[in-house]
Amino acid sequence: MILFISKKLYPFGIDYVVSPQIISTGEIYLLSKAPTTAFYQPAAQNEGLSINHSNPFGFSELNFFHLATQTKIFKEYISAGIISVENRYFADRVFYLGYSKKISNISFGGVGKYYQYKTIDYLQLASGTFTGGMVWNFKKFTSGVSVSNITQTQKNNISLPSVYKYELSIKPVEKTEFAFSFEKEKNYDYRYAFGAIQIIHPTLFVSTGFISNPDQFSAGLCLKINNLDLNYAVRTHPELNMTHSAGITYRY
């Protein structure tokens, strides 16, 4: 992502993952049923309004914020959102707008993104890019593919790399779901992930995940109160401090 810009500031490939649902399930979007997922996998369809904040308790100098919505209009879904990432060195914003449609058991989607980036030394960049995705269901299995940053943008020797991702989830029993993903970014090694969600009670969901390259473990919980989802997640990192993320989603 664009946060690979400076190896001095971002030596560990920090990206825009700010939703606790996505963090807790090892960044497997098929398990992350919230409007914020449309930023990464535009074929995912989750109606509602979601607000998420990473490191809400000040454990990190990085400040993440993600506001997202997805709405069904006739048989199409429209998604939109804004992401803010900043600290004392830089200020980064992303605005995005997406569209998806479901035909039988297959969903197609695309999302356009507009990046604004500024550093403390007044380097300023603006860039646009596009992400496409597809999700299909077959009995207890759900699969998805996505390609991020299809359009190659390069300014001042800074580029947004293409990321190819495949995901597979299975729901062996009613209250349990497992998933696996495989991801390859141009000029970088592949990474894989495992995730799971367990329904403890109709109002309480717990989730966990693992990501390779670098190895990261995560866990989270979701409390459902009528149309509200209250989410919290934590994730480890071999070099960085633990990431905390909190969020609230209203489903309509």
The answer to whether 14 touches 168, Cβ cutoff 8 Å, is: no
β-pairing verdict for 228-235 and 163-173: unpaired
The answer to whether 89 touches 117, Cβ cutoff 8 Å, is: no
The answer to whether 235 touches 243, Cβ cutoff 8 Å, is: yes
The parent domain of residue 126 ranges over 2-250
Residue type, 177: E
The Cα-based distances of 212 to 24, 84, 179, 184, 236 in angstroms read 14, 26, 15, 12, 12
CATH code at position 204: 2.40.160.40
Q: What pLDDT does 155 receive?
A: 58
Q: Per-residue pLDDT tens, the chain, 252 aa: give them.
A: 333 333 333 333 345 677 899 999 999 999 999 999 999 999 999 999 999 987 655 555 668 899 999 999 988 999 999 998 887 777 888 999 999 999 999 999 999 999 887 777 666 777 888 999 999 999 899 999 999 888 755 555 556 778 899 999 999 998 999 999 999 987 777 899 999 999 999 999 999 999 998 899 999 999 999 999 999 999 998 887 788 899 999 998
Q: What pLDDT does 135 receive?
A: 98
Name residue, tokens 């989607």.
109
Number of domains in the chain: 1
Query: 146 pairs with which residues across the strands?
Result: 133, 165
Residue type, 77: Y
The answer to whether 33 touches 21, Cβ cutoff 8 Å, is: yes
Q: What pLDDT does 137 receive?
A: 93
Q: What pLDDT does 239 receive?
A: 80
In angstroms, rounded to a whole number, what is the distance separating the alpha carbons of residues 158 and 43? Answer: 28
CA 246 to chain centre: 14
Name residues whose C-beta falls within 8 Å of residue 18's C-beta, 6 or more positions apart in sequence: 36, 52, 53, 54, 64, 65, 66, 83, 245
Token pair of 202 as six digits: 């109709």
Q: Is 33 helix (H, G, I), strand (E, B) or coil?
A: coil
Q: Give the H or E element holding residue 220.
A: strand 216-225
Put simply, whether the predicted model's pTM sits higher than 0.75 gets the answer: yes
In angstroms, rounded to a whole number, what is the distance separating the alpha carbons of residues 77 and 94? Answer: 20
Name residue, tokens 């920090």.
14
